[in-house]
Amino acid sequence: MLVVRLRRNAEMERWDVVLFEKEPEGIVRSLSELGIEVLICGAISQGLRLALEQAGIRVVSHVCGELELVITAFNEGSLGQPEFAMPGCCDRRDPRCRRGPPGQGRENRAACA
């Protein structure tokens, strides 16, 4: 996993993290200990998503694309653009779509998986 620390639309630092945990509880604990506030990922299980959200970690799922472009789009608030949608992702205009509003948390740490 790549962790990127952003502040006021600027990247402050980045580092790689290897998660050894397999169960949702361990993953949530690891991400919480790292101070992760936003997780940007592709596919994610409903159980892990719920556990992360209950821990206060915002999940932006069904994202795909070249890593640097995804980071830039998140930072600019344009991650909701169709080019970043995983094939088969729900219609982003549909309020049931769990991706959430793009661009929130730009001053937070974001993990891109």
Q: Which position has the higher pLDDT, 86 or 57?
A: 57
Express each pLDDT in 17-54 by its tens digit: 999 999 999 999 999 999 999 999 998 999 999 999 99
What is the pLDDT at residue 100?
Answer: 45
Rounded Cα distance, 48 and 71, in Å? 22
Domains of the chain: 2-112 (3.30.420)
List CB contacts of 15: < 8 A, sequence separation 6 or more: 2, 3
DSSP 68-92: HHHHHHHHHT-TTSGGGBPTTPPPT
Element at 2 (helix H, strand E):
strand 2-7
What is the pLDDT at residue 8?
Answer: 83
What is the pLDDT at residue 105?
Answer: 40
Express each pLDDT in 59-111 by its tens digit: 999 999 999 999 999 998 999 898 898 886 555 444 435 444 444 443 333 44
